[in-house]
Amino acid sequence: MDSIQETAFLNKIFDAAKIYKDNLVGRTFLFVFDGRGIEIIFKRVNFIHLCGVDSCHHPEEFFRRALFRTLKYNEIRYKYYQNERTANLKLDFINRLSSITSSDTFALEGIVTNTENYKFGITDCAITICLCNDTDKNGNSLPIYVIQSLRVGDCFNKSTSQFIVDAILSRPNCAKEYDKVEFIDKNYNLSSLPELYKNSLADSLR
């Protein structure tokens, strides 16, 4: 890769980091489907994995340097199962993550791939985010999901069940109430929210 290609690749990472921070980091997204819901957060430490690369820096520091556009190309390594083309493709699709939280999507259950099993995934038919439970500092599973993998395609044929997402709500991570409707199907009403989440609506959405 020559210096022009290296600069272009870095700029993709920088642009993706800004989109990731501006649209996803710091908010919790509730995806409602099949009479239930799952909550998803987008963590700073997950960004490097979504890029399809490794680095000499801790994931949090990698994200910070990408955000401030100080990351150097020689600080990036391709994962043993990835390559430059795959990483470029993943970076192109990171820009779609903000739309996957605010448009028509499908929830997938029981995704099985050659290397991993995922309880849930969300797809807009172009990309699929495969999810795993977040954990606390002691490694205990939490009832909230984070992205474990970003895959090209819809993964319908890799999942056991598929559901239309009825609504997507969001709230600041530090808040208890959902204050924004990111997406809602024209035939869905928030009065039909699962009981677990009805009391988590801000007054403006009741």
* Per-residue model confidence (pLDDT) at position 182: 97
* Per-residue model confidence (pLDDT) at position 81: 52
Note the pLDDT tens digit of each residue in 14-69: 999 999 999 999 999 999 999 999 999 999 999 998 888 889 999 999 999 999 99
Residue 4 CB contacts under 8 Å (≥ 6 apart), including other chains: none
pTM of the model: 0.91
Note the pLDDT tens digit of each residue in 102-130: 999 999 999 999 889 999 999 999 899 99
Mean confidence (pLDDT) of the chain:
92
Which amino acid does the sequence have at 150? L
Instruction: Return left, alpha or beta for 124; rule: phi > 0 is left, psi -120 to 50 is alpha, else beta.
Output: alpha
Note the pLDDT tens digit of each residue in 175-202: 999 999 999 999 999 999 999 999 999 9
Please tell me the distance from the alpha carbon of residue 67 to that of residue 18, in angstroms, as a whole number: 6
Residue 121 CB contacts under 8 Å (≥ 6 apart), including other chains: 107, 108, 109, 111, 128, 129, 130, 131, 155, 159
Which amino acid does the sequence have at 106? F
Residue 202 three-state SS: coil
